[in-house]
Amino acid sequence: MDGYGGRKLLCFAIQFPRQLSAAHRMKLTSDIQDKVMDIFGGIEKLINEHGSAAILKERLDLVADKYADLEQKLSDSTLKQKDIEIEKKNLELENLKLQERIRALEKKLSNHHPADRILSFICYNQDASEAEIADGVGVAIATVRHWLDFYKKQGKMLDENDQVTGEAIHYLSNKGLA
């Protein structure tokens, strides 16, 4: 049913349906079926496209949700990283202060007699071996042994378990070593 002729045939068929020949009726029926199918095909296409759009919208919404979750995780990670960096800087500052204190104590300690340094080291490191004491104080092991024997025989600075006595702590405090 193309053009003007198709419309004329359709109008004629509507007004005089019995006067059409069988061939014209077949042609008209076929043309009408094609037009109806074209209309339904268009509707079907719209439904499919709408369904595809709905599915696409759902997928885009899912992607948007996942993206928002990732943005939140990134934000949380960035905050944690900043907190860790601040903590690191604080620890580095504390480390510098402790290193300075160690240097000051080492300088102060180096001005004292090895016997006092050994006693001070034992005061802060109760379970230290002779080798550890020698390394910590910077003297030979023989010097450490000599002073440990001296303190044990004296009985005032070390008790029977080689622990620093209260008198020794008082003595070190007066010298600024405890």
Please give the backbone phi and psi of residue 83, each rounded to the nearest 5 degrees, phi first: -60, -40
pLDDT band at residue 1 under the 50/70/90 scheme = very low
Q: Is the CB of residue 136 less than 8 Å from the CB of residue 146?
A: no
% of the chain with per-residue pLDDT over 70: 68
What is d(CA 175, CA 178) in angstroms, rounded to the nearest whole number? Answer: 8
- pLDDT of 87 reads 96
What pLDDT, on the 0 to 100 scale, is given for residue 175?
A: 67
User: What distance, in Å, lies between the first and last C-alpha atoms of the chain?
Assistant: 114
Mean pLDDT value across residues 113-117: 82
Is residue 155 within 8 Å of residue 148, measured between CB atoms?
A: no
pTM, two decimals, is 0.38
pLDDT band at 17 (very low <50, low <70, confident <90, very high): low
Q: Which of 29, 38, 31 is nearest to 3 (CA)?
A: 31
What tokens does 72 get?
């939140």
Cβ proximity of 168 and 156 under 8 Å? yes
Name 91's Cβ contacts closer than 8 Å, sequence gap at least 6.
Answer: none
List the domain boundaries for the chain: 3-58, 113-178
* SS3 state of residue 164: strand
pLDDT tens track for 49-74: 766 777 777 888 888 889 889 899 98
Segment 3-14 shows an average pLDDT of: 54
Q: How far apart are CA 27 and CA 154, in angstroms?
A: 133
